[in-house]
Amino acid sequence: MKNIFIVSKYTFVEVYKSKILLNIILLGFALILISYIASEFSHGAQARIALDFGIGSMYLVVIGMSIFIGVSLLSNEVENRTAYMILSRPIKRWHFLTGKFLGMSSILFINVFLLGIIILAFFYFLGGSISALMWWALFFSLLESQIILLVVIFFSLITNVTMAVIYTICIFILGHVLGATLMINYIRDQYILVKLLTLTKWIIPDFDKLNLKDYIIYNHSMPFGYLMGSLCYAILYIGFMLILNIIVFERKELD
């Protein structure tokens, strides 16, 4: 655990030195500005429109960070020979990878938390009522960004940076459209296609389970059992992807 913590701390400091956390202030003001402009075009639903644009924009920012920072999380270490120096010490590869993941996850957590606070504060300022489901939505955004982070790390271990980004974006899109696709009447009438898509859904992360934005925008309730089920699904998928990445990284030739 000590080795994992050291690598995690090193990763956090490394990303922090890139001054990406300073962009939170600019992003926060940008999200408020976008939300305010969008709310001005609505009548009687300013707070709801502001929340919609705010949550959506924050979500894209965090997912973008997961992809474009995560893709170089290990590849830069290998190219700069830093990984060779670290792994030559008494530290196992899975300690190194897990520490890198946790360090980047802490960066994502800070981004989601601070941007979420800014968005909810502005929503409250416009007369909105903050509910517990909104905090769930922010937490699920963090979990989804961690899944995307592990997906892009996986592809970066088996292919080049460009293709890793492309493959991850494809997984991200599929994870959001597979559920809706299965609900199309034409698709439901195609037995083989339904079975194929259902099988794919078992492999591709089902991000619909973590998408609560429509529920909080339109003040719909969500059963606690569903939230816990989605939480367990996300944690299990994160665990699965982390183990898969460890297996691939253990077998990867770094020479």
Question: 235: closest CA among 193, 191, 205, 197?
Answer: 205
Query: How many whole angstroms separate alpha carbon 46 and alpha carbon 35?
Result: 9
Mean pLDDT of 206-213: 88
The DSSP line for 58-121 is: HHHHHHHHHHHHHTTTTHHHHHTTHHHHHHTSS--HHHHHHHHHHHHHHHHHHHHHHHHHHHHH
Mean pLDDT of 24-37: 69
Q: How confident is the model at residue 222 (pLDDT cuts 50, 70, 90)?
A: confident
- The model carries a pTM of 0.88
pLDDT of 38 above 80: no
Amino acid at 197: L
Extents of the domains making up the chain: 2-251
Which residue did the predictor score with more confidence, 232 or 196? 232
Which residue did the predictor score with more confidence, 53 or 153? 153
Q: What is the predicted pLDDT for the residue at 78? A: 67
